[in-house]
Amino acid sequence: MITVSLIPIPLRIAALTQERNSLLEYPVERLASVIREIGFQCSSCAKCCTRAFNGHVFLLDRDVTAVKTIDPAAIEPAPAPEFCDQNGIFYVSGYAIRIQDDDGGSCWFLENGKCRIYERRFTICRIYPYMLHREADEKGCVDWRQFCGLDQHGEYNAAIPENESLDLARETKEYENAFLTQEIRFLEFMQDYFSRHRLRHVQKVYDDGMRRFNRGEEITVMVYYDGLLERHRITKQTEP
Ligand code: SF4
Protein backbone atom coordinates (compact mmCIF):
# COMPACT_ATOMS: atom_id res chain seq x y z
CA MET A 1 0.00 0.00 0.00
CA ILE A 2 1.34 3.46 -0.91
CA THR A 3 1.97 5.85 2.01
CA VAL A 4 -0.73 8.57 1.80
CA SER A 5 1.79 11.38 2.39
CA LEU A 6 3.66 10.30 -0.76
CA ILE A 7 0.64 10.92 -3.00
CA PRO A 8 1.02 14.39 -4.58
CA ILE A 9 -1.18 17.00 -2.89
CA PRO A 10 -3.15 17.92 -6.07
CA LEU A 11 -4.14 14.26 -6.51
CA ARG A 12 -5.24 14.05 -2.89
CA ILE A 13 -7.32 17.20 -3.27
CA ALA A 14 -8.93 15.78 -6.43
CA ALA A 15 -9.72 12.46 -4.70
CA LEU A 16 -11.28 14.18 -1.68
CA THR A 17 -13.29 16.52 -3.90
CA GLN A 18 -14.65 13.51 -5.79
CA GLU A 19 -15.45 11.84 -2.47
CA ARG A 20 -17.33 14.95 -1.34
CA ASN A 21 -19.30 15.05 -4.62
CA SER A 22 -20.36 11.42 -4.10
CA LEU A 23 -21.34 12.23 -0.53
CA LEU A 24 -23.48 15.18 -1.64
CA GLU A 25 -25.32 12.90 -4.09
CA TYR A 26 -26.06 10.29 -1.43
CA PRO A 27 -29.79 10.48 -0.60
CA VAL A 28 -30.52 11.43 3.00
CA GLU A 29 -33.58 9.13 2.90
CA ARG A 30 -31.35 6.13 2.21
CA LEU A 31 -29.23 6.80 5.29
CA ALA A 32 -32.37 7.48 7.35
CA SER A 33 -33.75 4.10 6.30
CA VAL A 34 -30.49 2.37 7.41
CA ILE A 35 -30.75 4.19 10.74
CA ARG A 36 -34.32 2.92 11.23
CA GLU A 37 -33.39 -0.59 10.12
CA ILE A 38 -30.54 -0.86 12.66
CA GLY A 39 -32.62 0.75 15.42
CA PHE A 40 -29.57 1.58 17.54
CA GLN A 41 -30.15 2.72 21.09
CA CYS A 42 -27.39 3.92 23.39
CA SER A 43 -27.04 1.74 26.51
CA SER A 44 -24.71 4.26 28.21
CA CYS A 45 -21.83 1.75 28.24
CA ALA A 46 -19.48 4.71 27.46
CA LYS A 47 -17.25 2.44 25.35
CA CYS A 48 -17.43 4.85 22.42
CA CYS A 49 -15.84 7.56 24.58
CA THR A 50 -12.59 5.60 25.01
CA ARG A 51 -9.55 5.27 22.80
CA ALA A 52 -9.47 1.52 23.47
CA PHE A 53 -12.75 1.20 21.54
CA ASN A 54 -12.67 4.06 19.11
CA GLY A 55 -9.24 5.48 18.39
CA HIS A 56 -9.10 9.25 18.51
CA VAL A 57 -11.97 11.77 18.31
CA PHE A 58 -11.14 14.25 15.53
CA LEU A 59 -12.71 17.68 15.94
CA LEU A 60 -14.05 20.06 13.32
CA ASP A 61 -12.73 23.61 13.60
CA ARG A 62 -16.05 24.84 15.02
CA ASP A 63 -15.80 22.23 17.80
CA VAL A 64 -12.21 23.26 18.52
CA THR A 65 -13.44 26.83 18.90
CA ALA A 66 -16.07 25.57 21.38
CA VAL A 67 -13.65 23.38 23.35
CA LYS A 68 -11.17 26.24 23.67
CA THR A 69 -13.83 28.10 25.64
CA ILE A 70 -14.75 25.06 27.75
CA ASP A 71 -11.24 23.77 28.58
CA PRO A 72 -8.25 24.54 26.32
CA ALA A 73 -6.31 21.66 27.91
CA ALA A 74 -8.81 19.19 26.42
CA ILE A 75 -7.34 19.20 22.91
CA GLU A 76 -4.17 17.79 21.39
CA PRO A 77 -2.82 17.56 17.84
CA ALA A 78 -4.58 14.69 16.04
CA PRO A 79 -2.32 11.65 15.72
CA ALA A 80 -0.63 10.54 12.46
CA PRO A 81 0.45 13.90 10.98
CA GLU A 82 0.07 14.12 7.20
CA PHE A 83 3.42 15.78 6.42
CA CYS A 84 6.93 16.38 7.72
CA ASP A 85 9.20 18.95 6.10
CA GLN A 86 12.95 18.72 5.52
CA ASN A 87 13.56 20.43 8.90
CA GLY A 88 11.66 17.78 10.86
CA ILE A 89 8.49 19.85 11.51
CA PHE A 90 5.26 17.84 11.32
CA TYR A 91 1.90 19.09 9.99
CA VAL A 92 -1.55 17.75 10.85
CA SER A 93 -5.00 18.76 9.65
CA GLY A 94 -6.61 19.38 13.04
CA TYR A 95 -7.08 18.61 16.73
CA ALA A 96 -8.41 15.59 18.59
CA ILE A 97 -9.87 15.39 22.10
CA ARG A 98 -7.18 14.60 24.66
CA ILE A 99 -7.51 11.32 26.56
CA GLN A 100 -7.07 10.72 30.26
CA ASP A 101 -4.19 8.72 31.62
CA ASP A 102 -6.29 5.67 32.55
CA ASP A 103 -6.45 2.05 31.39
CA GLY A 104 -9.00 2.48 28.61
CA GLY A 105 -7.88 5.89 27.39
CA SER A 106 -11.09 7.68 28.42
CA CYS A 107 -12.03 10.93 26.76
CA TRP A 108 -10.97 14.01 28.73
CA PHE A 109 -14.66 14.75 29.40
CA LEU A 110 -15.72 11.29 30.57
CA GLU A 111 -16.39 11.19 34.31
CA ASN A 112 -17.86 8.20 36.16
CA GLY A 113 -19.03 6.77 32.82
CA LYS A 114 -20.84 9.97 31.81
CA CYS A 115 -20.00 12.87 29.53
CA ARG A 116 -19.63 15.95 31.73
CA ILE A 117 -20.35 18.29 28.80
CA TYR A 118 -23.17 16.18 27.30
CA GLU A 119 -25.39 19.13 26.38
CA ARG A 120 -22.45 20.79 24.59
CA ARG A 121 -20.82 17.62 23.19
CA PHE A 122 -19.20 17.88 19.78
CA THR A 123 -20.65 17.19 16.32
CA ILE A 124 -18.95 13.79 16.00
CA CYS A 125 -20.26 12.80 19.46
CA ARG A 126 -23.83 13.78 18.50
CA ILE A 127 -23.94 11.73 15.29
CA TYR A 128 -21.97 8.71 16.53
CA PRO A 129 -22.28 5.74 15.78
CA TYR A 130 -23.54 6.87 12.36
CA MET A 131 -21.13 7.78 9.60
CA LEU A 132 -21.26 8.17 5.84
CA HIS A 133 -18.08 7.50 4.01
CA ARG A 134 -16.65 4.87 1.72
CA GLU A 135 -14.24 2.38 3.17
CA ALA A 136 -12.74 -0.95 2.14
CA ASP A 137 -13.88 -4.01 4.12
CA GLU A 138 -11.54 -6.83 5.12
CA LYS A 139 -11.85 -8.27 1.58
CA GLY A 140 -10.91 -4.91 0.04
CA CYS A 141 -14.45 -4.19 -1.21
CA VAL A 142 -15.02 -0.42 -1.12
CA ASP A 143 -18.57 0.59 -0.22
CA TRP A 144 -20.50 3.10 1.89
CA ARG A 145 -20.21 2.56 5.64
CA GLN A 146 -23.05 3.99 7.68
CA PHE A 147 -22.55 2.53 11.14
CA CYS A 148 -19.58 2.08 13.45
CA GLY A 149 -19.11 -0.98 15.69
CA LEU A 150 -22.25 -2.96 14.80
CA ASP A 151 -23.13 -5.38 17.63
CA GLN A 152 -20.17 -4.21 19.72
CA HIS A 153 -22.00 -1.62 21.79
CA GLY A 154 -25.50 -0.38 22.57
CA GLU A 155 -28.83 -2.09 21.85
CA TYR A 156 -30.64 -2.69 18.54
CA ASN A 157 -34.06 -2.91 16.90
CA ALA A 158 -35.48 0.13 18.71
CA ALA A 159 -38.31 1.94 16.89
CA ILE A 160 -36.84 5.21 15.59
CA PRO A 161 -39.44 7.71 14.28
CA GLU A 162 -38.99 8.74 10.66
CA ASN A 163 -38.44 12.43 11.43
CA GLU A 164 -35.76 11.55 14.01
CA SER A 165 -33.97 9.26 11.55
CA LEU A 166 -34.05 12.00 8.90
CA ASP A 167 -32.60 14.56 11.33
CA LEU A 168 -29.80 12.14 12.27
CA ALA A 169 -29.12 11.37 8.61
CA ARG A 170 -28.94 15.08 7.71
CA GLU A 171 -26.60 15.84 10.61
CA THR A 172 -24.36 12.87 9.72
CA LYS A 173 -24.13 13.96 6.10
CA GLU A 174 -23.44 17.53 7.15
CA TYR A 175 -20.64 16.38 9.47
CA GLU A 176 -18.98 14.27 6.76
CA ASN A 177 -19.21 17.19 4.33
CA ALA A 178 -17.64 19.56 6.89
CA PHE A 179 -14.89 17.00 7.62
CA LEU A 180 -13.99 16.56 3.93
CA THR A 181 -14.12 20.32 3.38
CA GLN A 182 -11.72 20.87 6.29
CA GLU A 183 -9.32 18.24 4.89
CA ILE A 184 -9.43 19.81 1.42
CA ARG A 185 -8.78 23.29 2.87
CA PHE A 186 -5.83 21.92 4.84
CA LEU A 187 -4.28 20.37 1.72
CA GLU A 188 -4.82 23.55 -0.31
CA PHE A 189 -3.23 25.56 2.51
CA MET A 190 -0.24 23.19 2.74
CA GLN A 191 0.31 23.27 -1.00
CA ASP A 192 0.59 27.03 -0.86
CA TYR A 193 2.54 27.10 2.45
CA PHE A 194 5.18 24.61 1.27
CA SER A 195 5.63 26.48 -1.99
CA ARG A 196 5.91 29.93 -0.32
CA HIS A 197 8.42 28.74 2.29
CA ARG A 198 10.39 26.44 -0.03
CA LEU A 199 9.49 23.42 2.07
CA ARG A 200 8.70 19.88 0.98
CA HIS A 201 7.52 16.67 2.56
CA VAL A 202 10.43 14.25 3.11
CA GLN A 203 9.34 10.74 3.99
CA LYS A 204 12.68 9.72 5.50
CA VAL A 205 12.65 12.72 7.85
CA TYR A 206 9.02 11.83 8.68
CA ASP A 207 9.92 8.21 9.51
CA ASP A 208 12.98 9.19 11.57
CA GLY A 209 10.94 11.80 13.48
CA MET A 210 8.17 9.29 14.21
CA ARG A 211 10.73 6.80 15.51
CA ARG A 212 12.13 9.46 17.85
CA PHE A 213 8.58 10.36 18.94
CA ASN A 214 7.76 6.71 19.65
CA ARG A 215 10.91 6.48 21.77
CA GLY A 216 9.54 9.33 23.91
CA GLU A 217 11.37 12.31 22.37
CA GLU A 218 9.65 15.66 21.82
CA ILE A 219 8.63 16.73 18.31
CA THR A 220 7.18 19.92 16.82
CA VAL A 221 3.73 19.65 15.23
CA MET A 222 1.94 22.45 13.41
CA VAL A 223 -1.83 22.04 13.66
CA TYR A 224 -4.14 23.51 11.01
CA TYR A 225 -6.94 25.44 12.67
CA ASP A 226 -9.11 28.27 11.40
CA GLY A 227 -6.99 28.86 8.30
CA LEU A 228 -3.66 29.06 10.18
CA LEU A 229 -1.05 26.78 11.73
CA GLU A 230 -0.67 26.52 15.52
CA ARG A 231 2.67 25.30 16.87
CA HIS A 232 2.94 22.55 19.54
CA ARG A 233 5.80 20.64 21.13
CA ILE A 234 4.50 17.17 22.01
CA THR A 235 5.67 13.86 23.46
CA LYS A 236 3.94 10.52 23.11
CA GLN A 237 1.24 9.66 25.64
CA THR A 238 1.20 6.15 27.05
CA GLU A 239 -1.14 4.03 24.92
CA PRO A 240 -4.09 2.46 26.78
S1 SF4 B 1 -17.03 14.73 24.56
FE2 SF4 B 1 -18.48 13.50 25.75
S3 SF4 B 1 -19.66 12.32 24.23
FE4 SF4 B 1 -17.79 13.09 23.21
S5 SF4 B 1 -16.28 11.42 23.39
FE6 SF4 B 1 -15.98 12.81 25.15
S7 SF4 B 1 -17.22 11.96 26.83
FE8 SF4 B 1 -17.92 11.03 24.91
Looking at residue 7, what is its pLDDT? 87
* Residues in Cβ contact with 72 at an 8 Å cutoff, skipping those fewer than 6 apart: none
* Ligand 1 atom closest to Cα of residue 118: 2
Looking at residue 137, what is its pLDDT? 83
- CA nearest ligand 1 atom 1, residue: 121
Looking at residue 3, what is its pLDDT? 59
Instruction: Report the SS3 class of residue 224.
Output: strand
* Beta-bridge mates of residue 58: 96
- For the entire predicted model, the pTM comes to 0.92
Angle, nearest 10°, between helix axes 9-25 and 162-196? 160
- CA nearest ligand 1 atom 5, residue: 49
Looking at residue 240, what is its pLDDT? 44
Looking at residue 138, what is its pLDDT? 82
Residues of the chain under the 50 pLDDT cut: 1, 240
- CA nearest ligand 1 atom 2, residue: 115
